[in-house]
Amino acid sequence: MSKSNVVIAIDAMGGDRAPDIVLEGAELALKARPDLKFILCGDEEVLKQKISTGSALLHAARFRHADRIVSMDAKPSQALRAARGTSMWEAVHAVKEGEANAAVSAGNTGALMAISKIILRTLDGAHRPAIAALWPTQKGRAIVLDVGANIEADAPQLVEFAIMGEAYARALLGVPRPKVGLLNIGSEDLKGRPEIREAAKLIRESQLDLDFTGFVEGCDIPDGMVDVIVADGFTGNIALKTAEGTAKLIAGFVRGAFKRSIWTKLSALVARPALNSIKDKLDPRTVNGGVFLGLNGLVVKSHGGADAFGFAAALDLTQRLTRQPFQEEIAANLARLRIQGCDRGAEATTTAGAIS
């Protein structure tokens, strides 16, 4: 596929409020990037009825009919047995066939991961894919992975995550040499589980060109001390959801404080520009989109409950990534790791999809 003319295959039926939100998000994305092209996977008749006459989406998209969907509550194993012919399957398969540069879905995370792995396969040297998400910090943005693909991860796999996250951060954040840290309960070398300590040892002893800073704690993440935070999917997902909940809590406190009296309401009017700036930075919709790293193809997972603005953000993230060579960088470093023998025994348990 040409990267000058990006084509994104969309699971138009996946998500809590699909297809309406998905189509609205695609239209918003087109306003920002009129050169985008889409393959809308789903019930063609239903989709055409929901797109208004004269919409730019009718000219920018073609349809790939699928009359079945993957339910949001289906277990990955169950979804996989009946996946062929679903809108999710068709979106990922369009990447496999070279019809699309990437696939985007707001559907069932576990099913999307399972389908993507079956269709696209993992890169040589990548034992399991990881989900990478953006995280707001005082210095801008950071990458955290894994946030839900693997409940557990051994030391070699954590090293793989570091490799994938570093290349992804360089592509997305524009940082020439991203700083990488392992999420741990303390910064001392003796802290944490054996797998985490062994991963740090492997990274330090390897010949990989990584700017590895060692262990970081949860409280260090918002400071922007590192650009890439590496964790197993269980730990990473809890950290991410906790941060999202804290952001909502703070926003609620601020709103409540400015509604206490007429004077605080007047103060809110004066402070509105600053408050809007804070709101934008804390808005999870602006960083919507978890990327499946370690696959032979690009798949992005939008939050299942995202609105049109959030889904458009996931599409924008996707189109930016299609123009970057980070996949090639990941493959090269994984090959180097394999030659050194640091990937022996990497294995993990895959979750049913921690991200909703």
pLDDT in tens, 187-236: 888 888 999 999 999 998 887 788 999 999 988 888 888 999 999 999 98
Q: How many helices (H) and strands (E) does the chain have?
A: 13, 11
Closest CA to 25 of 49, 54, 1, 61: 61
- Cα(325)–Cα(330) distance, rounded to whole angstroms? 9
* Residue 169 exposed, middle or buried by CB count within 10 Å (0-12, 13-18, 19+): buried
Once rounded to an integer, what is the mean pLDDT over residues 122-147?
87
* Residue 112 exposed, middle or buried by CB count within 10 Å (0-12, 13-18, 19+): buried
Answer yes or no: is pLDDT of 7 > 90. yes
% of the chain at pLDDT higher than 70: 91
Once rounded to an integer, what is the mean pLDDT over residues 243-259?
82
CB distance 237 to 203 below 8 Å: no
Once rounded to an integer, what is the mean pLDDT over residues 22-30?
95
% of the chain at pLDDT higher than 90: 46
Residue 77: which pLDDT band, with cuts at 50, 70 and 90?
A: confident
Structure confidence by residue, pLDDT tens digits, 315-355: 999 999 998 888 887 887 777 766 565 555 444 444 444 44
pLDDT at 355: 45
Mean pLDDT taken over the chain:
86
**3-class DSSP assignment, residue 75:** coil
- The residue type found at 142 is A
Q: Which pTM value belongs to this model? A: 0.84
pLDDT at 340: 61
Structure confidence by residue, pLDDT tens digits, 157-197: 999 999 899 989 988 888 889 999 999 998 888 888 999 99
- Cα(125)–Cα(346) distance, rounded to whole angstroms? 10
- Given CATH 3.40.50.150, say whether it is the number of domain 1-120: no
- Cα(237)–Cα(351) distance, rounded to whole angstroms? 11
Class for the domain spanning 124-249+284-293+322-356: alpha beta
CB distance 140 to 179 below 8 Å: no
- Cα(151)–Cα(305) distance, rounded to whole angstroms? 22
Residue span(s) of the chain under CATH 3.40.718.10 come to: 1-120, 124-249+284-293+322-356
- Cα(32)–Cα(172) distance, rounded to whole angstroms? 18
